[in-house]
Structure 1
Amino acid sequence: MPLIGSRTLEAPMAENKEKINELQAVRETRRAQTLTEGEHLSAVVALAKLVGDFGSSLDLDQIFANVAEGIREHVAYDTFAILLLDELGQQLEFRFAVGFPDKVVHNWRFGLGQGIVGTAAQNREVIRVDDVEADSRYISATDIRSELAIPLVVKNRTIGVLDVGRRTKGHFTDGEEQLMRFLARRVANGIENARLYESVRSQSSMLALINEVSRELTSILDSEKLLRRVAELVKRLIDYQVFSVMLWCDEEQILEHTFQLAFDKRFVQKGGFALGQGITGTVAAQRQAIRVPNVHLNPLYRQCGHDVEVRSELCVPLVFEDRLIGVIDLESTEYNAFSEQHEQMLVTLAAYVAVALENARLYERVREDERRLEEDLDTARQLQIGLLPKVAPETEGLEIAFAYEPARQLGGDFYDFMHCKDGKFAVAVGDVAGKGAPAALFGALAMGTLRARVSESDCSPASMLQEMNRHMLQPEIDNRFVAMAFGIFDPEEKTLTLANAGITRPVLVRDHKVVEIAIEGVPLGLLPGSTYDERTLQLQTGDFVIFTSDGITEAQDTHCEEFSQRRMEALLAGSTERSAQQLADELMDASRAFALGTPPELHDDRTVVVLKVR
Structure 2
Amino acid sequence: MTSCDDSIKLFCVDHPLCGWQREIAFPKHSFPVNDGRTPVAWQYNSYVLPLILTAGVAVILAFYVWRRRPTPGAAPIALLMIAVAEWSLAYALRLGSVDLATKVFWSQVRNIGVAVTPVAWLAFALQYTGREKWLTRRNVALLAIEPSVALLLAWTNGHHGLIWNSLGLDTGGSFPVLVTTYGAWYWINAAYFYLLFLLGASLLAQRLIRSPGLYRRQSAALLIGILIPVAGHLCSNFHLIPSLNLNLTPFGFAVSGLTIAWGLFRYRLLDVAPLARDAIIKDMSDGVIVLDTQIRVVDLNPSAERIIDCLASDIIGQPLAQILPLQPDIVERCRRGDSVHTEAALEEGAAARTYDVRAAPLRGWRDRVTGHLIVLRDVTELKQADESLRKARKELEVRVQERTAELTQANESLQSQIAEREQAEKEMQRRATQMALLYEVGQRVSGELELDALLSEIVAAISETLGYYNVMLLLLDERNERLIRKAIAGGYSDVFQDVLQVAVGKGMIGRAAETGATLVSGDVSQDPYYVRKAGEDTRSELAVPIKSGEKVIGVLDVQSSELGAFDESDVVAIETLSAQIAVAIENARLYEAIERELAERKQAEQALARHNRELALLNRASQAFSSTLDLDQVLAIVLEEARRLLSVTACSVWLVEPETKDIVCRHSIGPHSDVVLGWRLPPGEGVAGWVVSSGEMLIVPDTQADERYFNGVDQKTGLSLRSILNVPLRAEQKVIGVLQVMDTNVDSFDAADASLIEPLAASASIAIENARLHRKVIEHADQLEQRVQERTAQLQAQYARLEAILGSTTDGIIVASALGDMILANRVARTWLNQTLSPEDAARLLKTVKGLARRASEQPESVLELTGLDLELKVAPVEGEAEAKEPVVVVAVHDISHLKALDRVKTRFVSNVSHELRTPITTIKLYAALMRKRPEKWDEYLDTLILEADRQARLVEEILQISRIDTGRLEINPRPVSLNELVEATVINRRALAESRGLTLKFELAEPGPMALIDPERVMQVLNNLAENAIHYTPEGGEITVSTGTREAEGRIWATATVVDTGMGIPEGELPHIFERFFRGEEPRSMQISGTGLGLAIVKEIVELHGGRATVESEMDVGSTFTAWLPLAGQIDQP
Q: Is the shorter-chain TM-score for this pair beyond 0.5, marking a shared fold? A: no
- TM bucket (normalised to shorter chain) is 0.3 to 0.5
Q: TM-score, normalized by length of structure 2?
A: 0.20
Q: Structure with the greater relative contact order (CA < 8 A, sep ≥ 6): 1 or 2?
A: 1
Q: Which has the higher strand share?
A: 1
Q: TM-score, normalised by structure 1?
A: 0.34
